[in-house]
Amino acid sequence: MYNPQLNSHGELAHLLTIEGLPARVLRQILDRAAEYVTAGEQGVKKHNDLAGKSVFNLFFENSTRTRTTFEIAQKRLSADVFSLNISASSTAKGETLLDTIHNLEAMGADMFVVRHSESGAPFLIARHVRPGVAVVNAGDGRHAHPTQALLDMYTIRHYKGDFQNLTVAIVGDILHSRVARSQIHALTTLGCPEVRVIAPKTLLPRDVEQMGVRVFHDLDEGLRGVDVVVALRLQNERMNGALLPSANEFNKYYGLNEARLALAKPDAIVMHPGPMNRGVEIDTPVADGKQAVILNQVTFGIAVRMAVTSILSGARA
């Protein structure tokens, strides 16, 4: 099947979505990230992989973690990094997305990292860039957030070993979550035997069971015996209507608290892609508790984004 992310040799040419990527590509990224983590532990933070290359970060939506860790990753690889302030750019004067891209290509762009509220925007860009220019999706609408899923897979592998014996529960607003979609594709591709999604019916996509997951509507039932719990924020910015009575009501039935976490395995880890809404999908004692690896996810995100950037640049291909 044609996959615009892979070149004719089956190598990663763009990173747009986890869907359709083979396990060998996901493992290549995780293994390369592990090399950067090891190098960092040995005091080697700076690498020359991207020396002389120009990377443009285009964040049409807000971001704290993704944007900053991409910039750190690119700088650690010695790239020339340009992060456009979209609200102060000519986008505000009506310039189209593709005109912006072509102008930045004329300045010598080698790679674009794009976050956009419209699902599919990074695909559109990837179809129109010059050969050799790479596009990375940093989150598009409710569609995909591949580097978040990859750093989540890195975190799970770090704490739990390989995926073959794990049960992972993803809790909350699955319907609007690009993170959940990407995580589900990554977990099933990497061989995780049981991926659970736990949510009210109104916050689940219609096709969710076709994605190879087990659906639970009861949080206590869904958490029993799991190795990994991923809590998700309510994506209010993507909700058109009233899908929930209130945030308080959501917390009552789907909020992750200490009593509920006790239903998971005693050594279960708690993850969250951030930003968190404390007291809604996750209570503070859990978010800051011993089982939480939420800030470790952020730290691993640097190495994972270094790996993606380096592989796409072909530096060591």
- Chain residues binding ligand CP by CB under 6 A are 63-67, 139, 148, 273-275
Residue carrying the six token digits 């998700």 = 232
Integer-rounded Cα Rg, in Å, for the chain is 19
- How near is the Cβ of 317 to ligand CP at its closest, in Å? 27
- How near is the Cβ of 211 to ligand CP at its closest, in Å? 20
- How near is the Cβ of 179 to ligand CP at its closest, in Å? 7
Query: Which residue lies nearer to ligand CP by CB, 5 or 148?
Result: 148
3-state secondary structure 178-212: HHHHHHHHHHHHCCCCEEEEECCHHHCCCCHHHHC
For residue 293, the surrounding DSSP H or E stretch is none
Query: Which residue lies nearer to ligand CP by CB, 139 or 200?
Result: 139
Q: Listing from the earlier edge strand, what are the strands of the sheet with 111-116? A: 80-84, 54-59, 111-116, 134-140
Tokens of 254: 């789907």
Q: How far is CA 209 from the centre of its chain?
A: 21
- How near is the Cβ of 1 to ligand CP at its closest, in Å? 28
Strand partners, 292: 270
- How near is the Cβ of 177 to ligand CP at its closest, in Å? 10
Q: What is the dihedral angle through the alpha carbons of 190, 314, 308, 154, rounded to the nearest 10 degrees?
A: 40
Query: Which residue lies nearer to ligand CP by CB, 113 or 307?
Result: 113
Query: Which residue lies nearer to ligand CP by CB, 104 or 230?
Result: 230
Query: Which residue lies nearer to ligand CP by CB, 125 or 294?
Result: 294
**How far is the C-alpha of 316 from the C-alpha of 52, rounded, in Å?**
15
